[in-house]
Structure 1
Amino acid sequence: MNAVDPSPTISSAVPKARIRFGIVLMPNFTLTAFSGFVDMLRLSADDSDFSKPVRCAWSVVGKTLAPVRASCGIQVTPWETYDEAEPFDYVVVVGGLLHSVPQADDETLEFIRRAARGNTTIVGICTGVFALMRAGVLDGHRVCVSWFHYWDFIERFPNADADALVADRLFVIDRRRITCSGGRASIDVAAAILLRHMDHATVQKALRILLVGEMQKGNAPQPHPPGIAPATHPKVKRAILLMEQYVGRALPLDELASKLDLSPRQLERLFKAETGKSPQTFAKHVRLRTAAWLLTSSDRTVADIASSCGFSDASHLGREFRKQFGLPPVMYREQRAGVAVGDAEGFTEAGLDDAAADAIPQ
């Protein structure tokens, strides 16, 4: 099979050969990410409503043919094993829950490496990117992760290039490596891949059938952070996500503005209009909010948390923390013992007491 051109150019003709996708499911994979991606393939593969794999074909592959359990309990049986599968144009690794069961086994990691050594484009969806990192196939590439799993990623891969880590976008295409934050974005990244090989009308038809409408581009921001209205300007949303991504190192205003293709003055004006606060003040609140969450969700020392949240030392964190919350970090931890600060969606106001909620910029 001829290799697929990895450039994101859009072809106006139906490909002569089917594009082959091999899909690897991690234990406790996210069903939404898997089904969204596959349904885009299914609906784009055929002209009629028969779901025939005319333009592209897909196969679920695994170490064995034993069913793989999704995080919701539904099980999917692989169609073929790694040894039986023919070469694919794309190998797609779909992840899910990180903490409940062992992740990718040695055979899966070797399958990913073997595919990466050829002409195959490797795709990581949701926490599938963790498997790609463990396989060592992302060196020298930008990597997209969900903001929700950013700290998990940093903890598991402390030597990763922080400047190459992207937690403020839906997905990233970097040559033959594609990484996606997961969820609904799996539909968008599938559409972006298919547009390399199919005409726009075919892909758009599939999106309309899924009631999605227009696909989101990779540089679209991930969903708005807690405490921010949905109507907030997308540049401000992205700036806040960058603040969370770089919570351990306060980004200078000019560097933050540069990442957003704005001037520092433009960014300050936009932030003031949208939040009523300067970027610097908002960033400090983000760091304090993260420190409050770490105090109640971990047993890390105050000094360690201070370092992780961009404060010079424990005393610096203590001074700022008392200003914002009215009590020192240790006392805050003692009072909040056994009470979760954030819910499963992140650090939301519902999980904070009144003093902590006041620290979240509105």
Structure 2
Amino acid sequence: MTIVDSLPLTSIDALPKERIRFGIILLPNFTLTAFSGFVDMLRLSADEGDYSKPVRCSWSVIGDTLAPVRASCGIQITPWETFADAEPFDYVVVVGGLLHSGPQASDETLQFIRDAARKNATLVGICTGVFALMRAGVLDAHRICVSWFHYWDFVERFPAVNSDSLVADRLFVIDRRRITCSGGRASIDVAAAILLRHFETATVQKALRILLVGEMQKGNAPQPHPPGLEPATHPKVKRAILLMEQHVGRTLPLEELACKLDLSPRQLERLFKAETGKSPQAFAKQVRLRTAAWLLTSSDRTVADIASSCGFSDASHLGREFRKEFGMPPVMFREQRGGTPVEGDAAAAYDETFPGRVDVF
């Protein structure tokens, strides 16, 4: 007797004509939370009751070999089948994690992703799985959601990407047959959004309640607030701050920022004053300075390079604003926080002490 044969008629009538098939690729050092949240939504939505049978949808962990894949926390998961043995999928889900701890997606994995795209599968990148989709060349002309935490890693690795297509202020983005998700708990939300394409709302809500999540977050909900800045409770202000981080290399005009948030400039100014005590322009400058401070201690880039990346006209301009914010020049800040002075910083230190020109800003 099959799984469907064992179900009551009322359940059979509610089932889709064909199961939705998900193939899940785990990259080395993948994030266990992102994987487990996504697959548990599938499990709990796939069947009636608490039987976890793959009736409405099925899922398979796939890989180029059957060698176990290690999660970032050390747990290992063995693929169920290889790419060569897997049947076609409706969705191919790539779950990433740590970027700087060994190998990423293999050439065989990237080719499988390309083949799945040619077969019109919907591709889903979760956490740094989006990096693999980008390397596979399947994200052209699509909007791409990345975690604010990995935004600069993405820009550094893919400098040719159009910054207007990058989204770092939302949980996930669905753009035709490409779905990208910031990761973590948002993997539950993006799984729910996908399942709502195929199942009744009550089926998906049941799964969310069992996971004690309650209501799913929509894709345009803001990502959690970056560290080091005052928290804001209003979602529009949170998104505005994340947009400032995303565009840290240039100052977004107030009108453009407000337009992205569907607010008037006056409304945005009032919200910022109420939530942070600062104007949007003042807060944006603080974001750029905090980013510069982080780059000084976490990278070997010169002060001049950091100044350019953070929207300052040159090292001297950054130096003056940095002194106002932190009470010391960037080079001293780097030395006191354990960073290593690099070539070019001596000239920057001289410029900070003896500015020879007036910057226009």
TM-score (norm: length of structure 1):
0.89
Deviation string for 1:111-148 (max 9, x for gaps)?
A: 00000111200000000000000000000000001111
* Residue type of the alignment partner of 1:116: A
Within 1, Cα distance between the matches of 2:100 and 2:287?
25
Partner residue of 1:315?
A: 316
Deviation string for 1:280-299 (max 9, x for gaps)?
A: 00000000001111111111
CA deviation after TM superposition for structure 1 residue 226, in Å: 2.6
CA deviation after TM superposition for structure 1 residue 174, in Å: 0.2
Within 1, Cα distance between the matches of 2:215 and 2:296?
41
Q: How many residues align?
A: 328
* Residue type of the alignment partner of 1:306: A
Partner residue of 1:156?
A: 157
Partner residue of 1:189?
A: 190
**Match of 2:33, SS?**
helix
Partner residue of 1:107?
A: 108
TM-score (norm: length of structure 2):
0.89
Partner residue of 1:360?
A: none
Please say if residues 147 and 183 of structure 2, whose CA atoms lie closer than 8 Å, have aligned partners that are also in contact.
Answer: yes
**In the alignment, structure 1 residue 47 sits paired with structure 2 residue 48:** yes
Deviation string for 1:134-179 (max 9, x for gaps)?
A: 0000000000011111111111111111000000100000000000
Partner residue of 1:217?
A: 218
Please say if residues 14 and 197 of structure 1, whose CA atoms lie closer than 8 Å, have aligned partners that are also in contact.
Answer: no
**In the alignment, structure 1 residue 31 sits paired with structure 2 residue 35:** no
Within 1, Cα distance between the matches of 2:15 and 2:278?
51
Within 2, Cα distance between the matches of 1:194 and 1:52?
16
* Residue type of the alignment partner of 1:269: R
CA deviation after TM superposition for structure 1 residue 14, in Å: 3.1
* Residue type of the alignment partner of 1:191: A
In the TM superposition, 1:171-250 aligns within 5 A as: 171-227=172-228, 232-250=233-251
* Residue type of the alignment partner of 1:137: V
Within 2, Cα distance between the matches of 1:230 and 1:326?
23
Deviation string for 1:184-237 (max 9, x for gaps)?
A: 000000000000000000000000000000000000001123355666110000
Within 1, Cα distance between the matches of 2:289 and 2:14?
53
Please say if residues 254 and 264 of structure 1, whose CA atoms lie closer than 8 Å, have aligned partners that are also in contact.
Answer: yes
Partner residue of 2:283?
A: 282
Within 1, Cα distance between the matches of 2:78 and 2:137?
27
Partner residue of 2:68?
A: 67
Partner residue of 2:137?
A: 136
CA deviation after TM superposition for structure 1 residue 338, in Å: 4.9
Partner residue of 1:332?
A: 333
Within 1, Cα distance between the matches of 2:61 and 2:233?
40
In the TM superposition, 1:119-134 aligns within 5 A as: 119-134=120-135
* Residue type of the alignment partner of 1:146: S
Deviation string for 1:83-115 (max 9, x for gaps)?
A: 111110000000011001110111000000000
Cα gap change, 1:49 to 1:61, in 2 (>3 Å): same
Give % identity.
86
Q: CA RMSD in A?
A: 1.3
Within 2, Cα distance between the matches of 1:144 and 1:42?
25
Please say if residues 66 and 81 of structure 2, whose CA atoms lie closer than 8 Å, have aligned partners that are also in contact.
Answer: yes
CA deviation after TM superposition for structure 1 residue 326, in Å: 1.6
Within 2, Cα distance between the matches of 1:82 and 1:42?
22
Partner residue of 2:146?
A: 145
Cα gap change, 1:231 to 1:13, in 2 (>3 Å): farther
**In the alignment, structure 1 residue 14 sits paired with structure 2 residue 24:** no
Within 1, Cα distance between the matches of 2:298 and 2:56?
48
Within 1, Cα distance between the matches of 2:235 and 2:196?
25
Partner residue of 1:58?
A: 59
Cα gap change, 1:231 to 1:305, in 2 (>3 Å): closer
CA deviation after TM superposition for structure 1 residue 13, in Å: 5.3
CA deviation after TM superposition for structure 1 residue 315, in Å: 1.1
Within 1, Cα distance between the matches of 2:234 and 2:294?
26
User: Which one has the largest radius of gyration?
Assistant: 2
Within 2, Cα distance between the matches of 1:14 and 1:140?
35
- Unaligned 5+ segments in structure 2 are 1-12, 341-361
**Match of 1:130, SS?**
helix
**Match of 1:173, SS?**
strand
**Match of 2:117, SS?**
helix
Within 2, Cα distance between the matches of 1:227 and 1:149?
16
**Match of 2:301, SS?**
coil
- Detail structure 1 runs of 4+ shifted over 6 Å in the superposition: none
* Residue type of the alignment partner of 2:227: P
Partner residue of 2:263?
A: 262
**In the alignment, structure 1 residue 94 sits paired with structure 2 residue 89:** no
CA deviation after TM superposition for structure 1 residue 337, in Å: 1.9
Higher relative contact order (CA 8 A, sep 6+): 1
Please say if residues 14 and 199 of structure 1, whose CA atoms lie closer than 8 Å, have aligned partners that are also in contact.
Answer: no
CA deviation after TM superposition for structure 1 residue 335, in Å: 1.9
Please say if residues 232 and 276 of structure 2, whose CA atoms lie closer than 8 Å, have aligned partners that are also in contact.
Answer: no
